Amino acid sequence: MEHFDLVTIGSGPAGEKGAAQAAYFGYKVAVVDRDPRPGGAPVNSGGIPTKTLREAATYLTGFGKREIYGVGIGLTRELLVERLRARAAEVQEAAGAAVRQNLERHDIEFIEGEATLVDQGVRVTPPSAEPRDLQADVVLISTGSRPLRPPGIPFDDPDVHDSDTILEMDRLPESMVIIGAGPVGAEYASIFTALDVSVTVIDMAERMAPFLDAEISELLRTYMEQGGTRVILGTSGEVARKDGRLEVVLGDGEQLYPDVVLFAAGRVGNTEQLGVAFAGVECDSRGRILVDDEYKTTVDGIYAAGDVIGPPALASVSSEQGRVAICHAFGIPFKEVIDPIPPYGVYSIPEVGMVGMSEQAATDAGVDYEVGRAWFADNARSAIAGSQLGMVKLVLERADRRLIGAHVIGEEAAELIHQAQAVIHTRGTIDYFIDSTYNVPTRSEAFKYAAYDALQRLSGGS
């Protein structure tokens, strides 16, 4: 058997960063992936393609800006799809190349093939070659996840998709039903609404993306409905093809007849072909690997990180999990814990960013809190850009004004949220925003005015 100090199965964020961490400290590393282009789901089927489609769709259609300037780009639906797919492919290729270059820079061997756990290592079966047996002191499983496909949804129908296969569509439908109002559902609903598709989103939950602050969640729904998306919450949907057309029957009996259905609710771990049962690695009912706080599995020498271990299933957190797992595996005194306060981003239209506690979380924790808000409708940079939807919302402890949470909805929300994250990490107060000088005009100014709003509320003003 060929010997490696580390074999990583999967080249997504956890696998790539974990492999690079080990190689940086002098260990011999191989990365195995069944996809010839490294990068995992963020590069090949999820994050980067979806976000690229969002940017391309808003640019090519002028969504949200046509009313301001009275002009827009006019493309046929066929040409629009062609441009969208070309742009997504271009960015995917660049992102995959960047991952491959990182592996090469660290002298990491990339092996294409299907991986299976065997005694003392990993067996790799390439697409058209003999299997290779790799002996490994440590194995890091970072195979990611895939969309959940419950038995009640007819995925054998060519017009019923999950969040991976939807990227393969070669035409724009006139209408679409999206089942799932979480981040993935909200993002795809925004994209297709921008492309002038009639979109209906349904979900059993009572609000969109329930992990968000309730006020922000309700604003997201309002803004999406104003943009043209129909949102129906608190209901189920039964999907079937009847008399040659798709039918979605809602819980109240309403019947919808979309051209396409997208199921975007839930994910399962990619473990079924790894031989985890043979190796003794325990998983939950959705195939997600069980790990401890050092990312050790139930088998010595085998670690797991990223989406394959379940939520939060963020590329940013997966990267850190991979690094931390490897530091524990090899006793590297570098990164030993994960950031306990990671930021979240929902790339809908408008965007959402959050970090720390929501109002509900503060209430549940028994925190005496106050909030401060600043609306982008009052922000000069937002007025200039013609994107005045949304706000900055701060959650702080009343006693000492310490910032414990922040929520942004609006353009560039996922970027802006990092300012609040830095303050929370240093256990800072909202005085940071008040005392800081901001360029004018900028959206960042909204943090200052949200802090002033909080001060006014603390002093009894409204």
**Model pLDDT for residues 34-68, shown as the tens digit of each residue:** 999 999 888 887 788 888 989 988 888 888 777 77
Q: Is the pLDDT of residue 462 over 70?
A: no
Contact 13, 41 (CB under 8 A): no
Let me know if residue 312 belongs to a domain. Answer: yes
Please tell me the predicted confidence (pLDDT) of residue 461: 67
User: What per-residue confidence (pLDDT) applies to 109?
Assistant: 97
Q: Would you state the pLDDT for residue 323?
A: 97
Cβ atoms 303, 140 nearer than 8 A: yes
Query: pLDDT tens across 133-144, in order?
Result: 999 999 999 999
Looking up tokens 């002038």 gives 196
pLDDT at 32 over 70: yes
Among 302, 330, 358, where does a domain finish?
330
Lowest-pLDDT choice from 83-87, 154-158, 245-249, 458-462: 458-462
Provide φ and ψ at 295, rounded to 5°: 70, 20
Residue bearing tokens 């994960």: 338
Based on the domain organization, do 242 and 354 belong to the same domain? no
Mean pLDDT (whole number) for 301-329: 96
Has residue 155 been placed in a domain?
Answer: no
Full residue range of the structural domain in which residue 24 is found: 2-147+268-330
CA distance 322 to 299: 17
- The per-residue pLDDT for 450 is 98
Rounded-to-integer distance, Cα 52 and Cα 89, Å? 9
Q: Quick one: 73 and 42 in the same domain?
A: yes
Same domain? For 11 and 137 the reply is yes
In a domain? residue 335: no
pLDDT over 70 (residue 72): no
Greater model confidence, 75 or 148: 148
User: pLDDT (tens digit, 9 = 90+) per residue, 216-248?
Assistant: 999 999 999 999 999 999 999 999 999 999 999
Render pLDDT for 434-456 as a digit per residue (tens, 0 to 9): 999 999 999 999 999 999 999 99
Provide, rounded to the nearest whole percent, the portion of the chain with pLDDT above 90: 83
Look at phi and psi of residue 280 and say left if phi exceeds 0, alpha if psi is from -120 to 50, else beta.
left
Q: In this structure, are 316 and 392 located in the same domain?
A: no
Q: Which of 211, 238, 265 is the last residue of a domain?
A: 265
Q: Which tokens in the block code for residue 102?
A: 């990182």
Q: How confident is the model at residue 80 (pLDDT cuts 50, 70, 90)?
A: confident
Q: Who has greater pLDDT, 184 or 76?
A: 184
Q: Into how many domains does the chain fold?
A: 3
Q: Among residues 265, 287, 316, which one ends one of the domains?
A: 265
Give exposure, 99-120, as e/b (b: 16+ Cβ within 10 Å): bbebbeebebbbbbbbbbbbee
Residues 284 and 361 in one domain: no
Inside any domain, residue 86: yes
Cα–Cα nearest to 170, from 38, 54, 260:
260
Mean pLDDT of the chain: 94
Instruction: Assess if residue 153 is contained within a domain.
Output: no
> What is the per-residue pLDDT for 167?
86
Q: Is the residue at 200 inside a domain? A: yes
Q: CA-to-CA distance for 141 and 303, rounded, in angstroms? A: 6
**pLDDT score recorded for residue 88:** 87
Contacts of 3 (CB under 8 A, 6+ apart): 28, 134, 135, 136
What local confidence, expressed as pLDDT, does residue 254 receive?
A: 96
pLDDT band at 361 (very low <50, low <70, confident <90, very high): very high
322 against 85, higher pLDDT: 322
pLDDT of residue 74 exceeding 90, the answer is no
**Residues 12 and 141 reside in one and the same domain:** yes
In a domain, 341, yes or no: no
Top mean pLDDT of 119-128, 164-173, 365-374 is at 365-374
User: In this structure, is residue 342 part of a structural domain?
Assistant: no
- Using DSSP's 3-state secondary structure scheme, residue 420 falls into helix
Tell me the CATH number at 242. Answer: 3.50.50.60
Which CATH number belongs to the domain containing residue 368 in this structure? 3.30.390.30
